[in-house]
Structure 1
Amino acid sequence: MTEYAIYDVFTGTALAGNPLAVVFDADHLSDGQMQAIAREFNLSETVFVLKPENPVHTARLRIFTSQRELPFAGHPTVGAAVALADRRLGGTLPANGIDMVKMLEEKIGQVRCAVRLQPGKAGFAEFDLPKLSRQLDVEIEPADIGAALGLDPHEIGFENHRVSLWSAGVPFVMVPVHDLAAAAKADCNAYEWERFAPMGDGQLAFAYVYCRGGVNHAASFHARMFAPGDGMPEDPATGSAAAALSGAIHHFDGLPEGKHALVIEQGVEMGRPSLIHLHIDCAGTEVSHVRIGGEAVRIAEGKLMI
């Protein structure tokens, strides 16, 4: 038998955010079993916790969608970090909470996470991006974007933000739109998207629609993510997309030297509102450091009879 837990990630409220299955002590499972279990849970992602290759690290993670394995993803990293901290402490916390650091091994490389647990509150984890976002050279026609996402060409782009392809390990076509109304209108046609969507880092890029502001007053940006090729019509919170967005924000907004704290809301149109914390540090004219963070709350636990 193998124990698992379900966490809602990038939210402090149960039944919001992005649900994640965390399967513990998964070293005995084969690749095929992991993929089958991910299909069984049928969530956007399932993360399997294994013994680390380096014994001084906390754990090794393998991340699966219902269709394939990913080298990196944000909400499994946040959720697994909080789940491992919860599991280690067994629900016993000092009155003022506890901070700890987790070093996680993922396909993309080592990921350093800071975790904060407080009595009566959702856990919070923040991780350093193992790879900074970079722009990939590709030409994408706004008319194709409009046909695939149900948007008029004049609704695409705001200020100097233009359609572009970025990746911090997972590629996303960044689709800036004028406002919340245009974002709400977006609806991805899988056939049209796969007809022209570019490749990046060896995989088909996903669609990431974003605009300034949000329904939540704390939001710097409002976003939606569509991944029809991965069996995911829409995702309620996507840390890897926020990671990729960091490069686009720096590129188009010309962030000055210093630290920039942003909040991205996602999942609003799905009825699963999420808040992703994005911290971009700039040294001179370059991005030097990026962190992604958010809350995670456990909503279920159980055992797999495998």
Structure 2
Amino acid sequence: MASVRFETVDVFTDRRFGGNPLAVFVEADAIDDATMQALAAEMNYSETTFVLRAADPANDARVRIFNRKHEMPFAGHPMIGTAFVMARKGMIDGDMARLEIPAGIAKVTLSRDANGSPVGGTVEAPQPVVMGMEFPHERIAECLQIAASDIVATTHAPIFATCGNPYIFAEIERDAVARCTPDLAAFHRAADDYPELNGRFSLFVYAREERTLWARMFAPLAGTWEDPATGSANAPLAGLLLDRLGGDEIDFTVHQGLEMGRPSLIAARAWRVGPEIRTSVSGTSVPIFSGTFDF
């Protein structure tokens, strides 16, 4: 019988039972694909990661990321949380982790406390921001059971954007953030009406006051009714806002998960590199518990 150890951490928080929980299975090369997916469904977190030997010895590990239903090319809190767990176990030399993921190389710069212990990190999205099609206000309103008049289009219309993991972004009125309630049938209709999205219709809504955002993310078709902290969405959102507001760089403080009772704090940043917009998200992590999976 083989055993693989796992640890869970809460990411984008400085206290237990806040932020976004993550399960990390280390030295998981012996686990097959189907079992990885089953374990992700069993853990029932937004994402679960599996740390494997790197294909390129210049990198620290290959990491596979699964939500409850599918493998993912990139996700923010799993990269920070995985690097945090690896650093605590002595699996990373120095303060930079290079993690091979389907979307490319995720670079995580670790942050440490006065004693040198890891406390979190910053992950740079592996791909530049790509923006795409826009969506009618009524479609967003129908999916979240708010009024079309709650959609704010001063900066941008509801729009597709990605840094490796696709989302639809809509700015809404501040008081509408708490009123969002997903309508699963409406999400299915939207996915059917936009086949180019390949069955994925994940909505990220936010209210903005200068550089502070209050956000929620709903991906019921991927098994995540609501996500308490979404690094892979906050990154392209920062890039989208830089594109629309102008300048060479921009940063935001994002509050997410408040309505779920899991308050999360995310620092999102975007900057220009030639014609591209690159992005990162930062946050702290807290260890929760550990165990073994025997198979």
Same fold (TM over 0.5): yes
Query: Cα offset for 1:168?
Result: 1.2
Query: Cα offset for 1:169?
Result: 1.2
Given that residues 88 and 118 in structure 2 are in contact (C-alpha distance below 8 angstroms), is that contact kept between their aligned partners in structure 1? Answer: no
Aligned CA-pair RMSD: 2.1
Partner of 1:105: 100
Given that residues 12 and 122 in structure 1 are in contact (C-alpha distance below 8 angstroms), is that contact kept between their aligned partners in structure 2? Answer: no
Tell whether 2:39 aligns with 1:37. yes
Tell whether 2:56 aligns with 1:54. yes
Q: Deviations over 1:73-103 (max 9, x none)?
A: 001001001111011079xxxxxxx961111
CA distance in 2, matches of 1:46, 1:184: 27
Query: Cα offset for 1:301?
Result: 0.8
Mean Cα displacement is larger for which, 77-86 or 165-174? 165-174
Secondary structure at the counterpart of residue 128 of structure 2: coil
Partner of 1:221: 213
- Match of 1:123, as an amino acid? V
Query: Cα offset for 1:183?
Result: 0.6
- Match of 1:268, as an amino acid? L
CA distance in 1, matches of 2:196, 2:131: 10
Structure 1, gaps ≥5 residues long = 91-97
- TM-score, normalised on structure 1? 0.89
CA distance in 2, matches of 1:192, 1:235: 18
Query: Cα offset for 1:56?
Result: 2.0
Partner of 2:278: 289
CA distance in 2, matches of 1:31, 1:225: 27
**Residue in structure 2 matching 1:82, options 84, 99, 113:** 84
**Residue in structure 1 matching 2:29, options 27, 30, 34:** 27
- Match of 1:294, as an amino acid? G
Given that residues 199 and 205 in structure 1 are in contact (C-alpha distance below 8 angstroms), is that contact kept between their aligned partners in structure 2? Answer: no
Tell whether 2:280 aligns with 1:278. no
Return closer, same or farther for 1:121/1:12 CA change in 2, 3 Å cut-off: farther
CA distance in 2, matches of 1:199, 1:11: 36
- TM-score, normalised on structure 2? 0.92
Aligned residue pairs, count: 290
Quote the sequence identity (%): 32
Return closer, same or farther for 1:131/1:203 CA change in 2, 3 Å cut-off: farther
**Residue in structure 1 matching 2:230, options 227, 234, 238:** 238
Query: Cα offset for 1:144?
Result: 1.9
CA distance in 2, matches of 1:211, 1:79: 26
Q: Deviations over 1:227-264 (max 9, x none)?
A: 011111100000111122123212332x212x322211
Within a 5 Å distance, the mapping from 1:69-148 to structure 2 comes to 69-88=71-90, 100-118=95-113, 119=115, 123-137=119-133, 139-148=134-143
Given that residues 170 and 205 in structure 1 are in contact (C-alpha distance below 8 angstroms), is that contact kept between their aligned partners in structure 2? Answer: no
Query: Cα offset for 1:287?
Result: 4.8
Partner of 1:94: none
Partner of 1:13: 15
- Match of 2:183, as an amino acid? N
Given that residues 209 and 223 in structure 1 are in contact (C-alpha distance below 8 angstroms), is that contact kept between their aligned partners in structure 2? Answer: yes
Structure 2, gaps ≥5 residues long = none
Partner of 2:258: 268
CA distance in 2, matches of 1:222, 1:200: 29
Return closer, same or farther for 1:146/1:6 CA change in 2, 3 Å cut-off: same
Q: Deviations over 1:166-209 (max 9, x none)?
A: 11111111111021x11110111111012114456645130101
Runs of 4+ residues over 4 Å off in structure 1:
199-203
Query: Cα offset for 1:149?
Result: 0.5
Query: Cα offset for 1:148?
Result: 1.3
Given that residues 110 and 118 in structure 2 are in contact (C-alpha distance below 8 angstroms), is that contact kept between their aligned partners in structure 1? Answer: no
